[in-house]
């Protein structure tokens, strides 16, 4: 695990940061299990305010404070925007800790450090995974616009998120969407001259340039992930559910066509192009496969899922796209229905419990088969009542969630002329952005030379179907069915950097192949 050098975690920067104990909060429920450790819903005892506590995993005391956490804190401290999660403070636990039930935590590290975030009721994966959930078009437009607004702000401030996926998009019951989990984020310079690792972004949302081994890249990598989320919201399931990198690339080429020097000038110079260039011609089929999508949605998707990153649409232009300015308009976030809290961790846990329940029931049935299954049951007194009770597998959720069916509330009419430029602030300095860097898109600065992991220049993954571990939790397909988070096989999975595994069996080290 990469560790912090002395003084890197400048907790003294803001006098109160790090000075309070986690005992100021009462843990209510675990809502996430991430690379760093657990995420809890908690209540601040003094004020009653509900927050999210993200514990920084410190499995090995000797390795010090994880560099990923330092990065996340550093980056979040400079980002202040309504579509970016707010890091409120850092709190510490000097002694043995307690879990949600007040029992001593068995963690061998006796102290702990927590990030305190504003609490969000859902993540997009958890929300979409609710039984019967269907997002309306104005709702999808509303979420997409907020996602792009938050990302535009990050990009203007020269921060790449590098892990855009449903479980990192948090939503509250006011309909606000915020980007979260900046553990893989980093600053970038506009000239894209720095070498960066290509082992970032969860596989299903990873752009072709990273899969082909590019180490010089920019905000376009996040825009590919946004395109994948957009298509997933419209399509109802993930569009590129690859098992490993070769399959991932193949799925991309099957839909977006094979890259060549015509549609992507310079592609043949990307390190692993020759290893993975398709051996047969592959036409772009996006319009054909998604012909049922609305015309403006398809136009925007085409520009997000453009193979050549230099031609891919940027967040600002996406916000200006016709899609957001034609009827039905994005709805007002506040008009969205309120749902019972739903995080990916919880929906997966519920599904696991349900599966376990079904297996137990099956096992019991096998062990104690009814004496004569084909004979009618012998009537006994009270049986009629017994038959009225629900069966052994009651629905997971007692009450069905409200189905979002197109709230009729829209924002006002578009602010700019239809189709005209500049409906969105050009550099993110207007539109209510707090702009700490003042760099603007073309501005200098913002390029951090901090201790980031070296770029992944290892050999490419094997060229044919490496056995990839399945998605975290074995969940099927994204929105509506389960969340992706593949681990990687092959050379990518071999680095032993320790960001730890999660309860669903996934391991981000494998997934991202972090190197020392």
Ligand X SMILES: Nc1ncnc2c1ncn2[C@@H]1O[C@H](COP(=O)(O)OP(=O)(O)OP(=O)(O)O)[C@@H](O)[C@H]1O
Annotated binding site for ATP: 54
CB of 37 to ligand X, least distance (A): 7
Separation between Cα atoms, residue 4 and residue 6, nearest integer Å: 6
Q: Is 343 in the site for ligand X (CB under 6 A)?
A: yes
Supply 22's token pair.
Answer: 């986690």
Q: Is 9 in the site for ligand X (CB under 6 A)?
A: no
- Give helix then strand counts, H and E, for the chain: 14, 11
Residues carrying an active site annotation: 163
Nearer to ligand X, 54 or 141 (CB): 54
CB of 87 to ligand X, least distance (A): 9
**Between 497 and 516, how does the x/- string for binding to ligand X read (CB under 6 A)?**
-----------x--------
CB of 435 to ligand X, least distance (A): 23
Report the first-to-last Cα separation within the chain, whole angstroms.
Answer: 7
CB of 349 to ligand X, least distance (A): 11
Nearer to ligand X, 119 or 204 (CB): 119
Nearer to ligand X, 153 or 345 (CB): 345
Task: Pick the binder of ligand X from 17, 22, 25, 34 (CB under 6 A).
Answer: 34
Reported as half-sphere exposure (CB side, CA atoms, 13 A), residue 354 has a value of 12
Q: How many residues bind ligand X (CB under 6 A)?
A: 24
Q: Among 74-82, 321-329, 343-351, 370-378, which window interacts with ligand X (CB under 6 A)?
A: 343-351
Pair type for strands 177-179 and 186-187: unpaired
Nearer to ligand X, 55 or 312 (CB): 55
Sites for ligand X among residues 437-496 (CB under 6 A): none
Residue number with the shortest CB distance to ligand X? 34
Please state the separation of Cα 328 from the chain's center in Å.
27
CB of 162 to ligand X, least distance (A): 11
**40 — alpha (psi -120 to 50), left (phi > 0) or beta?**
beta
At 271 the three-state DSSP class reads coil
Q: Among 117-125, 214-222, 262-270, 330-338, which window interacts with ligand X (CB under 6 A)?
A: 117-125
Separation between Cα atoms, residue 251 and residue 233, nearest integer Å: 18
CB of 86 to ligand X, least distance (A): 8
Task: Pick the binder of ligand X from 17, 25, 27, 35 (CB under 6 A).
Answer: 35
Q: Is 347 in the site for ligand X (CB under 6 A)?
A: no
Q: Is 181 in the site for ligand X (CB under 6 A)?
A: yes
Separation between Cα atoms, residue 514 and residue 511, nearest integer Å: 8
Separation between Cα atoms, residue 354 and residue 334, nearest integer Å: 33
Nearer to ligand X, 215 or 485 (CB): 485
* DSSP assignment letter at 20: E
Element (H, E) at 431: none
**Between 209 and 238, how does the x/- string for binding to ligand X read (CB under 6 A)?**
------------------------------
Nearer to ligand X, 117 or 264 (CB): 117
Handedness of CA 389, 392, 397, 400 (dihedral sign): negative
CB of 493 to ligand X, least distance (A): 16
- Residues 6 or more apart whose CB falls under 8 angstroms from that of 172 comprise 119, 120, 121, 122, 178
Nearer to ligand X, 338 or 362 (CB): 338
Task: Pick the binder of ligand X from 31, 298, 304, 315 (CB under 6 A).
Answer: 31
Nearer to ligand X, 114 or 325 (CB): 114
**Between 42 and 81, how does the x/- string for binding to ligand X read (CB under 6 A)?**
----------x-x---------------------------
Q: Is 119 in the site for ligand X (CB under 6 A)?
A: yes
Residue in this structure with the two tokens 């549609």, named with its chain if needed: 263
Question: What does the DSSP assignment read for 149-171?
Answer: HHHHHHHHTTEE-----GGGEEE
Separation between Cα atoms, residue 479 and residue 345, nearest integer Å: 14
Asked if residue 181 lies in contact with residue 153, where contact means CB atoms within 8 angstroms, the answer is no
Beta-carbon neighbour count of residue 221 at 10 Å? 25
Asked if residue 123 lies in contact with residue 64, where contact means CB atoms within 8 angstroms, the answer is no
Asked if residue 92 lies in contact with residue 25, where contact means CB atoms within 8 angstroms, the answer is no
Task: Pick the binder of ligand X from 180, 194, 258, 319 (CB under 6 A).
Answer: 180
Sites for ligand X among residues 76-115 (CB under 6 A): 85
| Residue among 500, 459, 490, 451 nearest 187 (CA) | 451
Separation between Cα atoms, residue 329 and residue 331, nearest integer Å: 6
CB of 206 to ligand X, least distance (A): 14
Bridge partners of residue 507, in order along the sequence: 501
Asked if residue 312 lies in contact with residue 306, where contact means CB atoms within 8 angstroms, the answer is yes
Which spans of this chain sit near ligand X (rule: CB under 6 A)?
Answer: 31-32, 34-36, 39, 52, 54, 85, 117-120, 123, 167-168, 170, 180-181, 183, 343-345, 508
């Amino acid at each position: 695990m990469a560790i912090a050098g002395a003084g890197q975690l400048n907790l003294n920067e803001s006098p109160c940061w790090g000075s309070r104990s986690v005992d100021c909060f009462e843990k209510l429920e675990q809502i996430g299990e991430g690379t760093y450790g657990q995420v809890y819903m908690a209540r601040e005892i003094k004020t009653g305010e509900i927050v999210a506590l993200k514990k920084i995993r410190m499995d090995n005391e000797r390795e010090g404070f994880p560099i990923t956490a330092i990065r996340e804190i550093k980056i979040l401290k400079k980002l202040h925007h309504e579509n970016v999660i707010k890091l409120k403070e850092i709190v510490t636990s000097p002694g043995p800790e307690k879990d949600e039930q007040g029992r001593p935590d068995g963690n061998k590290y006796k102290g702990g450090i927590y990030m305190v975030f504003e609490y969000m009721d859902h993540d997009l994966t958890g929300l979409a995974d609710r039984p019967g959930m269907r997002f309306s078009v104005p709702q999808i437009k509303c979420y997409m616009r907020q996602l792009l607004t938050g990302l535009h702000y990050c990009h203007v401030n020269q921060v790449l998120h590098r892990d855009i996926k449903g479980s990192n998009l948090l939503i509250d019951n006011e309909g606000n969407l915020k980007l979260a989990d900046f553990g893989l984020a980093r600053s970038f310079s506009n000239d894209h001259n720095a070498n960066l690792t290509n082992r970032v972004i969860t596989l299903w949302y990873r752009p072709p340039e990273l899969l082909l081994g590019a180490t010089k890249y920019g905000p376009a990598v996040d825009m590919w992930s946004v395109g994948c989320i957009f298509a997933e919201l419209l399509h109802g399931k993930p569009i590129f559910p690859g098992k490993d990198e070769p399959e991932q690339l193949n799925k991309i080429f099957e839909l977006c066509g094979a890259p060549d020097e015509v549609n992507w000038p310079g592609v043949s110079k990307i390190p692993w192009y020759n290893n993975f260039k398709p051996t047969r011609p592959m036409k772009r089929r996006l319009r054909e496969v998604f012909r049922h999508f609305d015309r403006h949605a398809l136009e925007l998707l085409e520009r997000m899922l453009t193979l050549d990153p230099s031609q891919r649409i940027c967040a600002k232009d996406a916000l200006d796209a016709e899609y957001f300015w034609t009827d039905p308009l994005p709805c007002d976030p506040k008009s969205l229905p309120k749902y019972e809290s739903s995080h990916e961790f919880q929906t997966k846990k519920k599904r696991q419990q349900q599966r376990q329940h079904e297996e137990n029931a099956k096992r019991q049935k096998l062990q104690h088969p009814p004496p004569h299954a084909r004979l009618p049951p012998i009537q006994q007194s009270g049986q009629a009542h017994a038959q009225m009770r629900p069966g052994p597998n009651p629905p997971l959720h007692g009450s069905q969630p409200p189905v979002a069916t197109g709230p009729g509330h829209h924002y006002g009419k578009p602010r700019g002329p239809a189709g005209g430029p500049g409906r969105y602030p050009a550099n993110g300095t207007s539109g209510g952005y707090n702009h700490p860097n003042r760099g603007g898109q073309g501005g200098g600065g913002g390029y951090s030379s901090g201790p980031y992991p070296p770029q992944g220049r290892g050999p490419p993954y094997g060229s044919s179907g490496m056995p990839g571990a399945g998605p975290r939790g074995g969940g099927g397909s994204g929105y509506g069915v389960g969340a992706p988070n593949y681990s990687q096989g092959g050379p990518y999975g071999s680095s032993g950097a320790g960001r730890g595994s999660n309860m669903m069996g996934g391991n981000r080290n494998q997934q991202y192949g972090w190197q020392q």
